[in-house]
Amino acid sequence: MNFEEEIKLLIKSKYPVVFVETIDEEHTVRQISSAANSLGIVFYRWSVTQGLQFEMNENSFYHTSSPAMMLKTALDIVDSGARAVFILKDFHKFLNDAVLLRFFKDIIAKIKDTAVTIVIIGGEYGVPEEIKPYVSRITGGYPDDREIIYEINKIAQEFKNSKVKFQMDLSPVELTRLVKTLKGLSILQIRSVINRCVISDARLSGHDMPEIEKFKKEIFDKEGCLEYYGSEIPSNIAGFENLKKWIAQRKNSVFSGTAALPPRVPEAMPTAEDSTLPPPKGVLLLGVQGCGKSLAAKVIAGELGIALYRLDLNRLYSKYIGETEENLRKALKTVEMLSPVCLWIDEIEKIFASSSGEIDGGVSQRVLGTFLTWMQERKDRNFLAATSNNINGLPAEFLRKGRFDEIFFADLPEVPEREEILRIHLAKRNLNPAEFDLKLLTGNSGGFSGAEIEQAIISALYSSSSANERISTRHVLEQINLTRPLSIIKSEDINFLRNWAKERAILPV
Ligand SMILES: Nc1ncnc2c1ncn2[C@@H]1O[C@H](COP(=O)(O)OP(=O)(O)OP(=O)(O)O)[C@@H](O)[C@H]1O
Ligand SMILES: [Mg+2]
């Protein structure tokens, strides 16, 4: 259910008070007003700076900046028997005043079971205990694809109307990517980042993507437990053929909506709801350390054409009782609002065991409960990519069939994959793989993880540069020979993991 449907349902079910937590006030006000309009109900807007205004009128009712006067006027309107929605910005912040709270409780009593709904909007939820039973709490929606395209076109039009030189240079694929990246930002933030890109070179083009991704990452990193990540293309990961095939089979049926987004004709946009196949829910990637599980999560998002958000487990666990679950609930809610996205939970076993037993007090158990319930009940179109290299930390409920669509096992890379890993990482550092004896290097790196092979190349770059030599096969080989891979140091752990996966016939990646 999207935000507008949700708010409509609450208005129709005669909830006296709804609290909307939102990062985008103006957008939320627009959505609520459009919901009210479509129900044939009038709406009023209030903020302490603007006073009480009827619908989108600029004039406000006489002396209604003060919350008490606004409530008085609202009461008159309620008494007249009108069906109305009152949208009150930050009103909850005034409720620590005893007189005002009393007044508000009287109004609640009056509007219960009537067609009047008070919607409080604010950045963070918080109402006095005694009115909580009357308050339904929801999270404000982010602008969706259609609204983002509308906004981009609007900004383009504004530039064209102004004297500023401006050119929009986006292929359909680039526009799709732009829209995907802008999702999760408020209209204000969208405008600000696009302006920033245009002002630097008078164009909006595919070249602006890194700037936009950086902006978005900054915004997300500042708040909450979700981190925004860029995705990867499949050719940057060696092996993982089964996983790539699995994803490829599902991507067209489910997420084709955004991939085929035509430029400037948002009405024609096909949506994933058109698809008859049920959307995939997610995969669990188990396996040996450094073998590309985290990298695979980025490839999954890239292949599905959706944005990638990582749940930051360090930020999730809070020392304050109750806050950890609240953080998780909030993060899951945000993800629902951002749908469709890829939710990446790296080292998922950590979600179920906070590092210190003392502060736990049952938190892990409750978090597990919240999480399993969410997995069971969610109906969104998000894709969950979870990774783990420690199966002992995973509760049995979690591995039971049905929780994930598929469980994959990432083992140490074999000869062909190792050769490909060498090729990928040499090329990444602007080196020509054809100038290296890949067969020799592959033959000498048995038991190495992808991460260790990459590390050998990086070390070889250092050693060759400090010797003032051009990097060659010899330098890489030296570093390989100097490395004691984890598969030797931790051979018992790795064998245990492998046997475990084998006994359960877990699909190799
Ligand atoms: N199959 C691969 N192809 C290309 N690069 C790889 C591959 N496997 C590992 N690498 C390189 O090693 C780095 C580390 O791998 P990654 O973090 O994905 O491993 P992981 O399985 O998640 O490890 P951990 O269990 O420690 O979290 C990657 O960023 C990538 O550069
Ligand atoms: Mg990892």
Q: What is the mean pLDDT of residues 19-28?
A: 87
Q: Would you say residue 19 has pLDDT above 50?
A: yes
> Following CA atoms 406, 412, 417, 420 in sequence, which dihedral angle do they give, to the nearest 10 degrees?
110
DSSP 142: P
pLDDT tens digits for range 238-249: 999 999 999 998
pLDDT of residue 11: 93
Give, for ligand 1, the residue of 291, 388, 459 to mutate: max count of ligand atoms closer than 8 Å to Cβ.
Answer: 291
Q: Please count the CA atoms within 13 angstroms of the CA of 165 that sit on its side-chain side.
A: 4
Task: Check residue 255 and give its pLDDT.
Answer: 52
**Most informative mutation of 298, 418, 454, 490 for ligand 1 (most atoms within 8 A of CB):** 454
| DSSP 8-state class, residue 143 | P
Look at residue 293 and tell me whether its pLDDT is greater than 60. yes
Inter-residue contact 121 to 22 (CB < 8 Å): yes
Residue 497 Cβ contacting ligand 1 at under 6 Å: no
Phi, psi of 284, deg, nearest 5: -110, 125
**Average pLDDT across the chain, whole number:** 87
How far, in Å, is the centroid of ligand 1 from the Cα of 154?
Answer: 42
- pTM of the predicted structure, to 2 decimals: 0.70
| Of 412 and 279, the one with more pLDDT | 412
pLDDT in tens, 135-190: 998 888 778 888 899 889 988 888 888 877 888 888 888 898 899 888 888 888 89
* Identity of the amino acid at 212: I
The position carrying tokens 């993800």 is 335
Whether residue 228 contacts residue 217, with contact meaning beta carbons closer than 8 Å, is answered with yes
Please say if the pLDDT value at position 364 is more than 90.
no
Report how far apart, in Å, the C-alpha atoms of 14 and of each of 83, 136, 152, 195, 269 are: 11, 11, 36, 42, 34
Separation of alpha carbons 202 and 169, rounded Å: 11
Which residue has its alpha carbon closest to ligand 1 atom 18? 292
Question: Is the pLDDT assigned to residue 428 strictly greater than 90?
Answer: yes
Using one digit for the tens of pLDDT, what is the confidence trace for 365-409? 788 888 888 888 888 889 999 999 888 878 887 887 778 999 999
| Residue-wise burial string across 392-401, b where 16 or more C-beta atoms lie within 10 A, e elsewhere | eebeeebbee
**What single string gives the DSSP state of each residue in 283-340?**
EEEEE-TTSSHHHHHHHHHHHHT-EEEEE-HHHH--SSTTHHHHHHHHHHHHHHHH-S
Is 348's C-beta closer than 6 angstroms to any atom of ligand 1? no
216 by Cβ neighbours in 10 Å (0-12 / 13-18 / 19+) ranks as: buried
How far is Cα 25 from Cα 45, in angstroms, rounded to an integer? Answer: 12
What count of residues does the chain have?
Answer: 509
Please report the atom of ligand 1 found closest to the CA of residue 239: 1
Evaluate whether 447 touches 485 at the Cβ level (below 8 Å): yes
